[in-house]
Amino acid sequence: MKKFRLIASVLLMTAGLTASATTTIGNGAVTLDPNDATIEGKVKEVDGVNTYDSFKNGKKATFTINNTTEQLYTISFKAATQLDGTSLTFVLTDNATGAEEINKTVDVTNNGTWGSVQDDFLPYSFNTDKAITTGEKTLVVTFNGPKYTLNAELITFTPLDASITYYTITKIVTPDEAGTISAKPGYDSFEAGTEVTLTATAASWKYAFDSWAYTIGDGAEQTSTDAELTITMTANVTVTANFKEVDPYNTIPTTDENPFNLEKADFTIGYWENGSNIGYMNDGGTATYQVKATEDDAYIVSFQSATAADGASVQFTLFNADGTQIFDKTVDINNGGWSDYQDYSFEVDQFAAGDYILVLTFHAQEGSFSANVKNLKFTSKSSTGIESVETGSIMNGAAYSLDGVKLDISKAQKGVYILNGKKIVIR
């Protein structure tokens, strides 16, 4: 597991402090101060700006606001994250009546950084659907994500300029659960003439982007298969991102052209981390794969793993279609650090071609993270030209060490040898 926070910044406030002030809005742009909020994360300074940092899923920042003018607002903020599936939810409630005046969730794009400098933070905004009434309000900003979420800053209320023409984008995803559409800039409404770049992101490995279909105003439907779609906002836009299902199977034996995709898993804990490895696996977490063996064969199973935890291990269990266990092997992982990947391997006996379920179970001390895993391979033993022989097996014929020394194979120690012209491994 990589450390969640790598950037160096100054800690200004810890979780749970009570709001110390009411923020007044209504006359020009007003940026909310994190120090005036009750927060369930931290506040850190980045290039002189106070940012909302280390908010886990469901954690909140709560403000008291006094609105002096009944009007529409643009609510803007900036955000940075290294995770998919994060968002901020804004709920504004009138303290006198209990009426909910804003309830808006804004998706935040994975831009590959937690925000170490100001340029790392991307802009987002939305316009309120109706005028915000005057009086005292409570604003709750909820951070959403898989476990950790995003870093944010500069939550700002700006009175909406009625002289500016705004257009909107209606986003549709097919199938509904297949993915999301993000816009850059990340606004909800766009001034006329704004150039907007849309990106379709699959919700998981189970889907892949296929095509766009969109209309601008009353114009004819247009299509594109480009990964990104750029539109100039001259009218309201309706856009559909079409996704297709991905083959759920990993096929073995693996090769350089047919790698094992560790992302194609159902995870009970943890996830595929930044396109590189299985990470954030607690003790007892599992990753389950559908595997298709294309031939009857025995395999050398190899992988790389890293951990900073004591007592970490990874258990590999293969089942056939009726639930019969084919093999079960637990590999202890050495304690060297979360980025100190080491090579591991083990052999499995021949099993038939067909469909299987592979379960990786991660072990560690109770409550602890276990290990990161990447580069899993199933190498055909027949393709290596190496046969495996148990120590003590009866073997006859001319035998040599790998450096050409003739020997009595019946007295050989564990290792690799040449017997009758073939490489063998004595175990």
The pLDDT mean for the chain works out to: 88
In this predicted model, what pLDDT tens digit does every residue of 209-260 receive, in sequence order? 999 999 999 999 999 999 899 999 999 999 999 999 999 999 999 999 999 9
The C-alpha atoms of residue 335 and residue 255 are separated, in whole angstroms, by: 29
- Residue ranges and CATH numbers for the domains of the chain are 10-159 (2.60.120.260), 167-245 (2.60.40), 249-381 (2.60.120.260), 386-426 (no CATH)
Count of C-beta atoms within a 10 Å radius of residue 53: 25
Inter-residue contact 276 to 306 (CB < 8 Å): no
| Low-confidence winner among 87-101, 182-196, 394-408 (lowest mean pLDDT) | 394-408
The b-or-e profile of 19-40 (16+ CB within 10 A means b, else e) is: beeebebbeeebbbebebbbbb
How many alpha carbons lie under 13 Å from residue 103 in its C-beta half-sphere?
Answer: 4
For residues 139 and 91, the answer to whether their CB atoms sit within 8 Å is: yes
CA distance to 3, 6, 38, 143, per residue, from 140 (Å): 29, 28, 9, 10
0.75 exceeded by pTM? no
CA–CA separation, 190 vs 186, rounded Å?
A: 9
8 A C-beta contact, residue 45 and residue 9: yes
> What is the rounded average pLDDT of the residues 284-306?
96
Per-residue pLDDT tens over the stretch 6-59: 333 334 444 444 455 899 999 999 999 999 999 999 999 999 999 999 999 999
Q: For tokens 């639930």, what's the residue? A: 323
Between CA 58 and CA 40 the distance in angstroms is: 9
Is there a contact between 196 and 171 (Cβ–Cβ < 8 Å)? no
**Which residues face 180 on adjacent strands?**
201
Q: What is the mean pLDDT of residues 51-79?
A: 95
User: What does the longest C-alpha to C-alpha distance in the chain come to?
Assistant: 97
44, 2 Cβ separation under 8 angstroms: no
Segment 92-96 mean pLDDT: 96
